[in-house]
Amino acid sequence: MAGRIKADGQKLRILDPAAGAGVLCCAAIEALVSRDQQPGTIKLVAHEVDQDLIAPLRAVLDYLADWCHDYGVTVTIRIEATDFVMTHAEVLRTLDQLFPSLSEVEHFDIVISNPPYFKIGKIDPRAMAASTVVHGQPNIYALFMAVSSVLLREHGDFIFITPRSFTSGPYFRRFRQVFFDMIRLTEVHVFGSRRDAFSRDEVLQENVIVSGIRQDRWHRSEPNAPLIVSSSRGVRDIAESHRREVTINKVFNPASPDRILRLPTRDEDEEALALVDSWPSTLQSLGLNISTGPVVPFRATERIGKEGNVPESHVPLLWMNHVRAMQATWPLDRHKPEYILRTGARTLLVPNRNYVLLRRFSAKEEARRLTAAPYIAARFTIPEVGFENHLNYIHRPGGTLSEDEAWGLAALYNSRLLDTWFRTINGNTQVSATELRAMPLPAHHTIVALGQRTKHLADPMKNLDGLVMKLVTHPDLKEAVVA
């Protein structure tokens, strides 16, 4: 991270908003002092809220100053033993003003940080103080990123190590709108293993090192700026990272309100992005919608059970484990309640029509993130059916999907192509309806053709990837369907 600092000059001001024991700011300053063109003076401001860490931090930074002095560089140090977000969040308010007057605010040439990561409640004082970037349940690290960006001077360096979650998903949407107006990313390193990078902290999601520069409204002046995307499994293999350069407009659309940042780490990812992005449809344009299963078991304990009389008094209740790739199997006769009472549960049930069922969570090391199955109404003689809350289901409001549509869509979602596309935008194990709504889909006739080809197969997952690629890339679809 220290090696990514680009700022130079005689006087440099560095901010570490979550300094801990000072390891990261020491590395940053050591890197600057080791340059051929050393700065003359460095001013370091280090925030740390944990009072037990202040004495060791001071000892470390005093030692650092002495060391720099021996190399001819003067370092002045200010330790702020206060909450960084509470102390500085008001700078976010200047963003609402047409002509922000930031003359009073101290600006930095470099912000470098390994901020804390944890969720905070909406009424946490830090979330209230930084409300401009908060939506739903915020994670404190995004508040550190937002406030730090405002404290950076124009063209200053922004270098953070964080979870990958801010790059997509609705909770970080407001944050992305503010952050990506200020910071133009230049390099993102993805730690592919959810265990390796921070195994000590048990952070079970992908982490990233992001670097960028403060350049307000960069999307107007430099829409095709280069972005380096690199990846490694963890820290140990970081020296052998796989690096690739993309232009930022391929992975980020500033005009979209979602402002998702996609991270293609392999050639295959970029090819999948290009192909899927060229598709003409979405769920909405096909007249479809996606909803979350309405049955929350702990709120419906009276209505659900391990036995039932179908269809007289009960109908099937489908959970995640009833859904495997291309196959919805009910009943399973396992330990979970698979039956739901019909009476008094109407709002929890949906009519027995054709749907596509999708798991909302993938198991940690599962091969694919998306697991989908067609739910074919004709298989069950029931008036309604129950879907548990860990499932999403695709439906046609006011109508039904055809069987071909249900099979075709399920085949697409289970394909390696859409899995690859999805992984470029999502680093965690959740599959949100918002992301699926934003996912491009091929033309309607391609989906139907795929459904026709897969619905009679004994094992539709066998050769599924080949079939999907053939249909979505074939210029003459009829030929491909017959072949």
**Phi, psi dihedrals of residue 233, rounded to the nearest 5°:** -70, -50
Residue 423 Cβ vs ligand SAM, minimum distance, rounded to whole Å:
26
Residue 162 Cβ vs ligand SAM, minimum distance, rounded to whole Å:
10
Q: Which residues bind ligand SAM (CB under 6 A)?
A: 18-24, 47-50, 53, 83-85, 114, 116
Distance CA 259, CA 252 (A): 7
Residue 201 Cβ vs ligand SAM, minimum distance, rounded to whole Å:
8
Residue 18 Cβ vs ligand SAM, minimum distance, rounded to whole Å:
3
CB 317 within 8 A of CB 295: yes
Distance CA 39, CA 440 (A): 50
Residue number with the shortest CB distance to ligand SAM? 20
State which amino acid sits at residue 356. V
Residue 114 or 432: which CB sits closer to ligand SAM?
A: 114
Residue 100 or 116: which CB sits closer to ligand SAM?
A: 116
Residue 19 or 42: which CB sits closer to ligand SAM?
A: 19
Residue 22 or 386: which CB sits closer to ligand SAM?
A: 22
> Which among 249, 96, 257, 261 has a CA at the least distance from the CA of 177?
257
Residue 39 Cβ vs ligand SAM, minimum distance, rounded to whole Å:
21
Residue 86 Cβ vs ligand SAM, minimum distance, rounded to whole Å:
7
Q: Strand (E) positions, 117-168?
A: 152-163
The pairing of strands 327-328 and 304-305 is unpaired
Residue 128 or 469: which CB sits closer to ligand SAM?
A: 128
CB 167 within 8 A of CB 263: yes
Cα dihedral sign, 302-305-310-315: positive
Residue 78 or 445: which CB sits closer to ligand SAM?
A: 78
What Rg value do the Cα atoms of the chain yield, rounded? 26
> Which among 395, 480, 403, 401 has a CA at the least distance from the CA of 446?
480
| Residues constituting the chain | 483
Residue 114 or 231: which CB sits closer to ligand SAM?
A: 114
Residue 114 or 424: which CB sits closer to ligand SAM?
A: 114
DSSP assignment of 246-302: EEHHHHB-TTSSS--B----SHHHHHHHHHHHT--B-TTTTT-EEEE--B-GGG-TT
Distance CA 316, CA 304 (A): 10
Residue 80 Cβ vs ligand SAM, minimum distance, rounded to whole Å:
8
Encoded tokens for 177: 């709108």
Residue 14 Cβ vs ligand SAM, minimum distance, rounded to whole Å:
13
Residue 106 Cβ vs ligand SAM, minimum distance, rounded to whole Å:
16
Query: Which H/E stretch holds residue 466?
Result: helix 464-473
Residue 84 or 422: which CB sits closer to ligand SAM?
A: 84
Residue 121 Cβ vs ligand SAM, minimum distance, rounded to whole Å:
15
State which amino acid sits at residue 20. G
- What residues contact 211, with CB distance under 8 A and at least 6 apart? 1, 4, 157, 158, 159, 160, 185, 186, 187, 188
Residue 7 or 161: which CB sits closer to ligand SAM?
A: 161
